[in-house]
Homo-oligomer: A and B are copies of this chain.
Amino acid sequence: MTHEPQRALADIRIRVQRDLTSYLASQTSYLSDIGSELVPVAEAINSFLLDGGKRLRPLFAYCGYLASGGEDDESVIAAAASLELLQACALIHDDLMDASDTRRGRPSIHRWFEGIHQNEELLGSAARYGSAAAILLGDLALVWSDQMLHKSGITESALMRSLAVHDEMRVELMAGQFLDIHEQGLATQSVARSLKIARYKSGKYTIERPLHFGASLAIENESQRQKYVAIFSEFGLPLGEAFQLRDDLLGVFGDSAVTGKPAGDDLREGKRTVLMAMTADRANESQDLIIAKNFGSKTLTHEGIEELRQVIIDTGARSHVEELIEKLSSTAIDALNRDEINSHSRALLLELASTAVHRTL
């Protein structure tokens, strides 16, 4: 393994990709043995999973493993890679719940199967077929993530240690997702509630828990493990919030050519983010009117998007969120200044932290 952190991360990413490719190949052949009707299911998940994604959760898991003293190990790479299938479940179901048409510039899974229904001139409603396929494909991805972890080849004791944190992470994810959909129905926005949702739905699940998962794979001794779990929470929780805040900014200001989502998608959808809650808190009467007219409007025009963006900037919400990201990142980084984290692992985690919060995608 190289000592230059960017190259080291790229190397881990390649090995994660290799393991996902080979696991999905085995499942593709398993499914087509059951029936040729299942080939499109395998194709859809292959294309969804292998054509994009930053692999942040596997990377945090593996770096957490290395930072807590684990030795480079192919089995642990496979175990970490399994988190990407859990993420596939979350994204497939999320796109369906949000009725999003695209993901990374391509049709979302329910739209993809709607297209198959139309092309094959199947009977019944194409939309219902698309939804059903997306529900099942998400479920399948969730089960596959489990199976890939179980078959990763890690030791029995490592697997046993990892199950508790793995389960808790998944319950938190689903709880956070529910808080999020509930939030969209409330009459008012709230910075505190949106921060909590960001924490559960995204922060803990993307960074803190994968690091804990990595520590559980590396360390047998309970009290030793708890020491790393605490450090990773100190690092991962603020970083996770910063990650989600970056997501909020990208959902409004992101370049659609890079994000693969239509410009201003979150604005059209009326997504209740920390950024929007801060904007609402700070808006004056005329800005309130602009928000009321445009935010969540299904017919939002390019002009409306620009008006909203200007309000978010003018209220100071955008720059406040940027400052918050910097503050949270710096709190996170400080947590790594511990003897328990060796310099190689610290460099990896710092590089990864930077990838998570300074991304454009």
Contacts from A to B (Cβ < 8 Å):
27, 30-31, 34-35, 37-38, 41, 89, 93, 96-97, 99, 117, 120, 122-124, 128-129, 131-133, 135-140, 142-144, 146-147, 150-151, 156, 159-160, 163-164, 167, 170-172, 174-175, 177-179, 181-182, 184-187, 196, 200
Contact = CB atoms under 8 A, between A and B. Distances in A.
Say whether chain A's binding surface is mostly helix, strand, loop, or mixed.
helix
Nearest to A185: B122
24 contacts: A27-B171, A34-B179, A37-B178, A38-B179, A41-B175, A89-B139, A93-B139, A96-B131, A96-B135, A97-B131, A122-B186, A123-B185, A123-B186, A123-B187, A129-B181, A129-B185, A135-B138, A136-B178, A143-B174, A146-B146, A146-B167, A150-B163, A150-B164, A156-B156
A204 to B, nearest CB: 11
A31 B172 CA distance: 9
A144 to B, nearest CB: 7
Contact of A143 (B131, B167, B182): B167
Contacts of A132: 97, 181
Copy number in this complex? 2
A183 to B, nearest CB: 8
A181 B138 contact: no
Nearest to A169: B143
A266 to B, nearest CB: 15
A138 B136 contact: no
Contact of A41 (B144, B151, B178, B184): B178
Contacts of A143: 142, 167, 170-171, 174
A79 to B, nearest CB: 13
A112 to B, nearest CB: 14
A133 B181 contact: yes
A124 B170 CA distance: 27
Given A99-B128, A117-B185, A123-B185, A35 B196 contact: yes
A336 to B, nearest CB: 28
A99 B174 CA distance: 22
The 7 closest A-B pairs by CB, nearest first: A122-B185, A97-B132, A147-B167, A143-B170, A140-B174, A132-B181, A150-B163
